[in-house]
Amino acid sequence: MSAPRNIWIIFKRELKAQFNSMLAYVFIVIFVVLAMALTFWFRNFFAPGGQDASLEFTFFLWPAWLLMFLAPAVGMRLWSEEHRTGTVELLLTMPMAPWQAIVGKFLAGLAVISIAILCSFPIVITVSYLGDPDNGKVLGGYLATFLYGAACLAITCSVSAFTRSVVACLIVSVTICFLMLLLAVPPVQDYFTDILGGGLSDAISSFSMFAHYNDMKRGVITLPNIAFFASLIGFCLFLTSIVIKTKRS
Amino acid sequence: MIEVKNLTKRFGQKTAVDNISFTVKKGEVLGFLGPNGAGKSTTMRMITGYLPPTDGQISIDGADVVNEPIVAKAKIGYLPEAAPLYADMTVVAFLRFIAELRGKGEADVEGALDTCFLDPVRNQNIDTLSKGYRHRTCLAQSILHDPDILILDEPTDGLDPNQKQEVRSLIKRMGEGKVIIFSTHILEEVEAACTRAIIIDQGRVVADGAPAELKARASGAGAVTVRITGMAGSGIRSEIMSMPGASDVKEHESGESLFSGQVLPAKSSGNLPEEIFNMCKEKQLVLEELHLEQGRLDDVFREITVADTTLTDAD
């Protein structure tokens, strides 16, 4: 059987499992409600002179923080649950390559995240109606949010391959996502500059998902930004396959 | 056909499977016996491609499990130990998922539901099923694609006696056209369903043969229990001991005109019952009882595996 077909079969099963367990609904509702609430209450969305039609400093300020917690919640059971229930033995003795199962599961988690992100779209309609947004920035913001969520999910996917405990997976994944976000926060950057000098500090900051996210939400959709997220996702999925293989050896 | 050559699996310092080789041909139902931790499940997991071997080769109908895993896996149906399932799915949805991965259709799903008597629970969520139904659901996924090779790790574990009987009959029925390997702790199961048995202990094959051949290796196999009248017990005992086929006699009862006991065969025994019968005929004695002990598989199992453990402990 072809690889796309196997990936599709795994994707369908995993997506149904996400919705059957209510996890997907919980994730979507929490993401949309929190993103909207934070935008309207804490960023003075309607305040005179504070309008931000391109949503850069209002709506797109929050997804990076929300996805840091919520994407691991979507991905925590991808492999941990398979190990805990023993179904990994069933799955990996089917006539398909393990990477197809990894990609299928990852895409199912990504579909849930994408649905949540798309559910926030009414805010774009609102600003388009009320003002004159820079569509490039809005598009950049959505692309940044999507890639940031995918990267957090890929990190969680590789952590879930290590452990059969979904709670341990959630805690470790959130910690890693938080650390990767911190690298671009000014006090942390200043600390690295003091002890390592400017060059190395910049190099460390370039590994921050937050720095690339901020670039893209300003509308700077450059190849290095996209390549950063793509390589991080690729590396994490490759790590997942190595962990799954090593665990069996 | 399954060909296993010099198969070894090490987990760190521990050798779980130690250089084992065997071949299973079409039509054979191979019972895999051994104490807990002997290496049965590890061997089965390597045959199914789940665990990579540390050393050695496994060939499934000519396809190497390590180099051509997808071809090999397509030929195998596998029931893992503890019968893992996706608890959030219904029985029929789970079987459809497996059918899709195996490139099979709705007719195969219906066939598996029918064969494993799962129709009453087809739309029930797996997490609400009894252990017996869960086991049968996992068995159904293993036979759904009508595989040439079936690997069943303790297929009757946790089933009630009726369900065990059903599964044994199923294995026996399917065994005629397939290669089946199944592991079990229940020795009567091997006698009921297997054409061949392998006893594995501490990662090594310690016995391999048809159940009848293995039973003949039991220490009590070939012994003859007799009850003879018509002569003094001591005389009958002397006559028996003078027979070339007898090595020893365990006396149960002896009287003025009676002997009852068990005659143990000599190693180069010919036909001990016939010798006893001819002796009685010649001496005009009455042979009231004659019973040939067949040997018991659990005796062989215990003698082989206990002896091996003792030897290791002594080392």
Q: How far is B57 from chain A (nearest CA, A)?
A: 16
Residue A54 confidence (pLDDT) above 80 = no
A20, A86, A245: residue with CB nearest B88: A20
Percentage of residues in chain A with pLDDT exceeding 70?
A: 93
Closest partner residue to A87 (CB to CB) among B49, B74, B84 is B84
What's the pLDDT score for residue A49? 54
**Mean pLDDT within B70-87:** 94
Q: Looking at residues A95-108, what average pLDDT do you find?
A: 96
B85 and A CB contact within 8 Å: yes
Q: B138 to chain A: which residues are within 8 Å by CB?
A: 90
Predicted pLDDT of residue B312: 47
List the single range of A154-163, B83-92, B151-160 with lowest mean pLDDT. Answer: B151-160
Query: Mean pLDDT, chain A, as a whole number?
Result: 87
Chain B environment of A7 (Cβ under 8 Å): none
Residue range B300-310: mean pLDDT, rounded: 67
CB–CB of B41/B183 below 8 Å? yes
Specify the pLDDT at position B17: 93
Q: List pLDDT tens digits, range A150-171.
A: 999 999 999 999 999 999 999 9
Contact residues on chain A for B68, CB-CB shorter than 8 A: none
Please compute the mean of the pLDDT values over residues B143-172 and round it to a whole number: 87
Return the residue matching tokens 């002569």. B231
Helices H / strands E in chain A, number of each: 13, 0
User: Which of A87, A96, A245 shows the shortest C-beta gap to B101?
Assistant: A96
Name which of A196-205, B103-112, B161-170, B224-233 the model is least confident about: A196-205
Q: H or E element: which one contains A37?
A: helix A23-42
* pLDDT band, very low/low/confident/very high, at B293 (cuts 50, 70, 90): confident
What are the C-alpha distances in Å from B188 to residues B211, B246, B270, B296?
Answer: 10, 30, 28, 10
pLDDT at A199: 75
Q: Is B88 on the interface with A (CB under 8 A)?
A: yes
Confidence class of residue A115 from pLDDT cuts 50, 70 and 90?
Answer: very high
- Whole-angstrom Cα distance, residue A199 to residue A186? 15
Q: Answer whether residue A82 shows pLDDT above 90.
A: yes
* pLDDT-based confidence at residue B306 (cuts at 50, 70, 90): low
pLDDT of residue B59: 95
Answer whether A90 sits within 8 Å of B49, measured CB to CB: no
Give yes or no for residue B125 having a pLDDT over 60. yes
CB spacing of A9 vs B97 below 8 angstroms = yes
Would you state the torsion angle of the CA atoms of residues B98, B99, B103, B104, taken in this order, to the nearest 10 degrees? 160
- Residue B295 vs residue A176, higher pLDDT: A176
Biggest distance spanned by C-alpha atoms of chain B: 78
ipTM for the whole complex: 0.87
d(CA B212, CA B194): 10
CA distance B38 to B17: 8
Please report, rounded to a whole number, the percentage of residues in chain B having pLDDT higher than 70: 96
* pLDDT value, residue B314: 43
State the CB neighbour count (10 A cutoff) for residue A215.
18
Tell me: pLDDT of B217 over 90. Answer: no
pLDDT band, residue B82 (cuts 50/70/90): confident
Q: What's the confidence (pLDDT) of residue A26?
A: 92
Size of interface A-B (CB pairs under 8 A): 66
Q: Which residue has the higher pLDDT, B184 or B150?
A: B150
φ, ψ at B259 (rounded to 5°): -140, 135
Q: Read off the tokens for B34.
A: 């051994």
Domain count, chain A: 1
The two tokens of residue A8 are 């599709």
Q: With pLDDT > 90 as the criterion, what percentage of chain A qualifies?
A: 51
Contact B52 A1 (CB under 8 A): no
Segment A7-29 shows an average pLDDT of 93
To test the contact with chain B by mutation, choose from A16, A93, A100, A105 the residue with the greatest count of B C-beta atoms within 10 A, namely A93
pLDDT exceeds 50 at position B225: yes
DSSP symbols for A34-98:
HHHHHHHHHS-TTSTT---TT-TTTGGGSHHHHHHHHHHHHHTHHHHHHHHHSHHHHHTTSSS-H
Give the distance from residue A88's alpha carbon to the nearest chain B alpha carbon, in angstroms: 9
Q: Which of B237, B222, B251, B83 is nearest to B157 (CA)?
A: B83
**Residue B311 banded pLDDT, cuts 50, 70, 90:** very low
Q: Retrieve residue A118's tokens.
A: 């798309």
Q: What is the mean pLDDT of chain B?
A: 88
Decide: A236 and A155 in contact? Cβ < 8 Å: yes
Between positions 41 and 70 of B, the ones with CB within 8 A of A are 45, 48-52, 69-70
- Segment B28-42 shows an average pLDDT of 89
Q: Where are the domains of chain B?
A: 2-215, 224-292
CATH 1.10.1740 assigned to domain B224-292? The reply is no
| B313 — pLDDT class (breaks 50, 70, 90) | very low
Domain region containing A160: 3-248
Please say whether the beta carbons of A14 and A153 come within 8 A. Answer: no
- Top mean pLDDT of A1-10, A60-69, A186-195 is at A1-10
CB contact under 8 A, B73 and A94: yes
| 3-state class percentages of chain B: helix first, strand second, coil last, to nearest 5 | 40, 30, 30
Give residue-wise pLDDT tens across range B236-278: 988 888 888 888 888 888 888 899 998 888 876 668 888 899 9
- What is the per-residue pLDDT across A135-145, written as a single tens digit (0 to 9) for each? 778 888 889 99
What pLDDT score was predicted for residue B48?
96
Report the pLDDT value the prediction gives residue B179, as an integer from 0 to 100: 92
Q: What is the rounded distance in angstroms from the CA atom of residue A212 to the CA atom of residue B152? A: 51
A46: confidence class by pLDDT, cuts 50, 70, 90: low
Lowest mean pLDDT among A126-135, A185-194, B67-76, B109-118: A126-135
Residue of B nearest to A1 (CA): B103
Contact A86 B80 (CB under 8 A): yes
- The reply to whether the predicted model has a pTM over 0.95 is no
Give pLDDT, residue A185: 79
Q: Reply yes or no on whether the pLDDT at A64 is more than 90.
A: no
Residue B36 tokens, joined: 């807990």
Return the CATH architecture of domain B2-215. 3-Layer(aba) Sandwich (3.40)
